[in-house]
């Protein structure tokens, strides 16, 4: 897409004070996160129906697909043994948590009745399917896809696109991903300053979360930031992680990769850190605020301007833009990476802190919803570890529409806007529950922190508040069963659980 470039070269692991290491560890290399994306050795089109072509990704075709009727829930519904042998023990993992019947085996007639008549079957969720044909691509493109899968396993943030499943056959690899139907950032230009600030806040939060997890994106551009839906208030999602790089603190990267108009001077020079992403944020902010790129001209002219940090605010589009916004852009489009704002520092900039730019969804959050959130958290903290894990899987697979209230509550509690809830933020949110001691609140926090990394991640929070949406559809519970039963045996075995616990 566009001027995307990837010239691979050996990384130099030279120590550097500007490396931008992990100031806040939210890394989740734990087993639960590793298993959130289900892998199958099967043809994806046995499970999904092709709808239409969406376009070309950085390493292959992207298509719109929907789940085929009768395949939802997988092994939770498949009848592979004599029905008399099933009993009631197959789905005991989720009954107490959701207050509904345990998932058990049923006759084919009952299965078909459920699949044809349930309200969850009356609408089909759409997914984006990224694919490559193994015989047609060079090894570097296959490596990009596998790298993207690896990166997405380790990330959990409301503004980062989700991957659900990976299908691999002898000839193809497919990744089933969240479908963002609202178009990329170009789809809604021009933007008011308040809209630009809202988008940049979300982007800084996502990039800061990546950097805290030791990952640099390396291809942030307008085309890789999508609106999750056509709703005017839709949130953004960052996607396309094929060029992303996992790094260690103090590590220099040297690959000449990305898209030219958002490349930093250091990327062009072949010696850079995660601060290259922050330069790209500055380019995006500039473009959103005045509807023009900061570095224009033919390729050679553009490269020269980038290398010399040659941009101005003289364009007519800047006439009605605040000085604070200009200072924000200038602090990111700074040639010296040591003086350039980090993503976390950008989040704290006065321009993004203006009350007038606060998210409307957070402003309008009513007190009754927050009371329900706290009640759900208290209930969730008292459940078993297995049920909490099942809830996390359901939360990961839930659509934006299903978890909208939970996300709004998460945004309100996450006062630092960094995509995780710390113990201090949690205590502040739970402060009205006077009947609980500090020790008890700490215990609740620990129970919700299923990944045991010292923070409540986005999906963990959604899992703890699932019942805000009402009774969880059986389809979602069946999907959780099928996900844990990763050998498709029809049972939840000790071996299945060992991979998660």
Residue 335: burial class (beta carbons within 10 Å; 0-12, 13-18, 19+): middle
Cis peptide before 190 (omega within 30 of 0): yes
First and final C-alpha spacing in the chain: 41
For position 370, what pLDDT does the model report? 77
State how far Cα 108 lies from the chain centre.
Answer: 37
Which class does domain 362-470 fall in?
mainly alpha
CATH no. for 4-25+182-358: 1.10.510.10
Q: How far apart are CA 174 and CA 168, in angstroms?
A: 6
Q: How far apart are CA 176 and CA 164, in angstroms?
A: 6
| Angle at alpha carbon of residue 358, lines to 353 and 361, rounded to 5° | 150
For position 330, what pLDDT does the model report? 98
Mean pLDDT per 10-residue section of the chain, whose length is 501 residues? 50 40 44 79 95 79 92 62 40 42 36 42 76 83 88 94 95 95 97 97 97 96 97 96 90 94 98 97 98 96 97 95 98 98 97 76 63 85 82 91 90 93 94 79 92 92 80 76 82 80 68
For the chain, the structural domain boundaries read: 4-25+182-358, 362-470
**293 and 306 Cβ atoms separated by less than 8 Å:** no
Closest CA to 346 of 245, 211, 251: 211
* Tokens representing residue 263 in the block: 């490349």
Q: How far apart are CA 487 and CA 497, in angstroms?
A: 12
For position 358, what pLDDT does the model report? 64
For position 383, what pLDDT does the model report? 83
- Enumerate the active-site residues: 219
Residue 293: burial class (beta carbons within 10 Å; 0-12, 13-18, 19+): middle
Q: How far apart are CA 50 and CA 176, in angstroms?
A: 12
For position 74, what pLDDT does the model report? 66
For position 212, what pLDDT does the model report? 94
- Spell out the residues 6+ positions from residue 204 whose beta carbon is closer than 8 angstroms to its own: 281, 343, 344, 346, 347, 352, 417
């Amino acid at each position: 897409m566009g001027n995307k470039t990837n010239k691979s070269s050996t990384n130099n692991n030279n120590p550097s004070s500007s490396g931008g290491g992990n100031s806040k560890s939210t890394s989740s290399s734990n087993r639960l996160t590793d298993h959130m994306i289900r892998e199958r050795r099967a043809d994806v089109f046995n499970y999904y129906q092709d709808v239409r072509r969406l376009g070309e990704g950085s390493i292959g075709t992207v298509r719109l697909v929907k789940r085929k009727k009768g395949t939802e829930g997988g092994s939770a519904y498949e009848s592979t043994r004599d029905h008399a042998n099933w009993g009631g023990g197959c789905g005991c993992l989720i009954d107490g948590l959701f207050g509904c019947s345990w998932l058990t085996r049923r006759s084919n007639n009952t299965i078909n009745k459920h699949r044809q008549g349930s309200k969850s079957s009356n609408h089909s969720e759409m997914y984006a399917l990224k694919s490559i044909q193994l015989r047609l691509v060079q090894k570097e493109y296959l490596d990009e896809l596998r790298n993207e899968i690896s990166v997405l396993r380790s990330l959990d943030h409301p503004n980062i696109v989700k991957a659900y499943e990976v299908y691999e056959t002898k000839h193809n690899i497919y990744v089933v991903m969240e479908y963002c139907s609202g178009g990329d950032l170009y789809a809604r230009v021009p933007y008011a300053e308040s809209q630009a600030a809202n988008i940049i806040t979300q982007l800084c939060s996502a990039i800061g979360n990546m950097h805290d997890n030791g990952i640099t994106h390396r291809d942030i551009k307008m085309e890789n930031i999508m609106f999750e839906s056509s709703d005017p208030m839709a949130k953004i999602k960052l996607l396309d992680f094929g060029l992303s790089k996992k790094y260690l603190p103090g590590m220099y990267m040297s690959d000449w990769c990305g898209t030219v108009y958002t490349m930093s001077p250091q990327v062009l020079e072949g010696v850079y850190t995660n601060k290259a992403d922050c330069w790209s944020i500055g380019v995006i902010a500039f473009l959103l605020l005045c509807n023009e790129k900061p570095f224009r001209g033919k390729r050679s002219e553009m490269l020269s301007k980038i290398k010399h940090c040659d941009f101005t605010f003289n364009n007519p589009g800047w006439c009605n833009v605040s000085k604070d916004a200009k200072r924000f852009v200038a602090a990111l489009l700074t040639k010296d990476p040591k003086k350039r704002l980090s993503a976390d520092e950008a989040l704290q900039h006065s321009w993004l802190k203006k009350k007038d730019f606060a998210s409307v969804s957070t402003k309008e959050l009513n007190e009754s919803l927050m009371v329900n959130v706290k009640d759900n958290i208290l209930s969730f903290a008292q459940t078993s570890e297995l049920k909490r894990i099942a809830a996390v899987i359901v939360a990961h697979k839930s659509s934006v529409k299903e978890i909208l209230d939970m996300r709004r509550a998460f945004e309100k509690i996450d006062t630092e806007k960094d995509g995780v809830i710390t113990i201090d933020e949690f205590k502040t949110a739970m402060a009205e529950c006077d009947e609980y001691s500090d020790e008890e609140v700490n215990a609740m926090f620990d129970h919700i922190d299923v990944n045991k990394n010292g923070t409540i991640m986005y999906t963990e929070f959604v899992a703890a508040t699932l019942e805000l949406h009402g009774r969880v559809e059986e389809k979602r519970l069946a999907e959780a069963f099928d996900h844990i039963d990763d050998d498709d045996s029809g049972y939840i075995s000790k071996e299945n659980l060992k991979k998660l616990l």
